[in-house]
Amino acid sequence: MGDLKKDAYLRAKEKAERFLSEEGEYRLGYIEAEKPHPKTRRLSQTFLENVSAGVRLLAEVDSEMSLRAKEALASEEYALFADSVRKTLGRGHRVIFSGCGSSGRLSMQLERSFRAAAEKLIAAYPDIKDAVTDLRDRVGVIMTGGDYAVIRAAESFEDSTKLGREMAREKGIGEGDLLIGVTATGETTSVIGTAEQALDNGARVYMLICSPPDEMINRLSRVRKVYGHKNCSVLVMPSGPMALTGSTRMQSSTIEQLAGGVALEGAVYDLLEKHGKVAVFPGYAAYGRAFEDTASSLLNERAVRLMTRLIENERDVYKNGGVVTLFSDDCILDVLTDTTERSPTFKTPPFRPEGDKTGETSWAFFKHTFLDTPSAWRKCFLRELNCIEWDREKYRSLGLSDEQIDAIPDIGAKALLSFRIGCERDEEREGEGNLAEWVGVFSPDESFYKASRGYGIRVSLSLEEAGVECMPTYMDIFEHLGLKMALNDVSTGAMACMGRIDGNWMTSLSLSNKKLTDRGARIVSDLCSVPYEKALFEVLYSLELIKEKSGSDSPVHETIVRLGMK
């Protein structure tokens, strides 16, 4: 063994021993949302054999999940949750969703959808503009890492209750307010921190989760203070295991987005009734039936053919060295949520800010069809940017070491604006072999064709083309969910065709936090048939070897290649 490999071996051994002795609470394989889905064991093989069969498989998992969602929305437990949201807002207090990663991005989507609904109400009922504006501004979000995290995760934030607490403290959550902690697994560290601070400040907390909490509460000390508090309630929305193991951007974030959206929709009806407007709330169960219809409609032949064609187009572009740029107008956040999460899930090149020529061009990026970048970012959130602008002294005061602080990138507003998502031309992404894809509820208009004139291939993904009809709601709940599920299926299918998935494991994943380190070890343990402890060491050893050569490969994939699949 050479000196470099020996050093890497010793560092990996030390890190593995430390993880096993100190981070046992991040071994999460027993949580339902982290388990492999029995129906998708051959997911990657299915896509490689027949793309349409792979699309149907993913859509079937969503359709089955919609049946559980329908039952949950008709339950007494859901009514208590939704009524808590409506009563909090009705009494003039705030409802704040708190999430990290995919749960944070769905929380941002809920905030944006509520603000978009308010715009519709003001246009329809200008006489109650002040009341609508007041209600709109009392629904907010705490995204771990701030708005910057919609484009790239702020990794050091995810494993810290202290940073979560500070974000909640700055939000000013207090007595009468309701914080909704959104986390599929129920234990996300930063989200737990926001809940702790909210409870300390006298607010109520609802934990919106996808896995039964009892075993987690018994095992994890960091959650007991929250779940055992008299002012904390829990709503379990049973998503079942993810179609792609552990990828909570899929079923769990979909069902949580549904749960939050329907509760907020009820608050819109309350406001209209209070001001004498004719509006009859259809009842929570009606939304469950509507979601079942939306999910099942993605199994129709038009939808399957469309998604199959898009996957094959994307696959062929990547294999020929090209890149994909997705365009939209009103669906910015829907598209960004899917494209951003490809990088940590499949170890594809992350988004690059303007002027950064280091590394590989991101395989997929987003552009607005006609707005410039600052305007596109405002349209994305329907509010001004809410980024974290803390300095080193602030981080030190929160207990972070210099090493931890150094790992945090610039996540302020200026850094976010450097990602040019507006209509400004990007010649690096244009060209004969590159693809422009419209994403929206309806088929593209002239603005897309004008914005994409420099691209060699143009396609579109719309619910209209897919033959998906949605129950109308003030917040466009089912349009957003329909697009989300379709985007998830297309991006997952494309990555399966590119060899970024083995079975239903995301073997190209990045070990960017403790939860993902555990998941990486479980993947290697399962696919290489080795004990968890050995798998953990081997994946950390691969990570050290990659660092030695300044590489960007996935340590999970490298370990599987080195050990061999069994």
Confidence (pTM): 0.95
Instruction: Give DSSP secondary structure letters for 517-533.
Output: HHHHHHHHHHHHT--HH
Q: Write out pLDDT tens, residues 526-561.
A: 999 999 999 999 999 999 988 877 766 889 989 998
Cβ-proximal residues to 538 (8 Å cutoff; 6+ apart), any chain = 524, 528, 530, 559, 562, 563
pLDDT of residue 1: 56
From residue 547, give the alpha-carbon distance in Å to each of 7, 367, 544, 556, 564. 12, 33, 5, 14, 21
Q: Write out pLDDT tens, residues 441-470.
A: 999 999 999 999 999 999 999 999 999 999
Contact 503, 41 (CB under 8 A): yes
Pairwise CA distance, residues 388 & 406, whole Å: 15
Cβ-proximal residues to 543 (8 Å cutoff; 6+ apart), any chain = 12, 511, 555
pLDDT of residue 565: 81
More confidently predicted of 326 and 25? 326
Number of H helices, E strands in the chain: 26, 9
Domains of the chain, earliest start first: 3-30+507-563 (no CATH), 63-287 (3.40.50.10490), 300-383+407-497 (3.40.50)
The residue among 125, 481, 400 whose CA lies nearest residue 277 is: 125
From residue 285, give the alpha-carbon distance in Å to each of 109, 259, 260, 468. 22, 11, 14, 20
Cβ-proximal residues to 152 (8 Å cutoff; 6+ apart), any chain = 340, 343, 350, 351, 409
From residue 5, give the alpha-carbon distance in Å to each of 408, 542, 557. 28, 10, 18
Cβ-proximal residues to 445 (8 Å cutoff; 6+ apart), any chain = none
More confidently predicted of 566 and 51? 51
Six token digits for residue 552: 């960007």
Q: Write out pLDDT tens, residues 11-53.
A: 999 999 999 998 888 888 898 889 999 999 999 999 999 999 9
More confidently predicted of 1 and 483? 483
Dihedral sign from CA coordinates of 515, 519, 520, 521: positive
Of the chain, the end-to-end C-alpha distance in Å amounts to 26
Contact 212, 236 (CB under 8 A): yes
Pairwise CA distance, residues 113 & 445, whole Å: 22
What is the side-by-side strand order in the sheet with 431-440? 364-368, 324-328, 431-440, 455-462
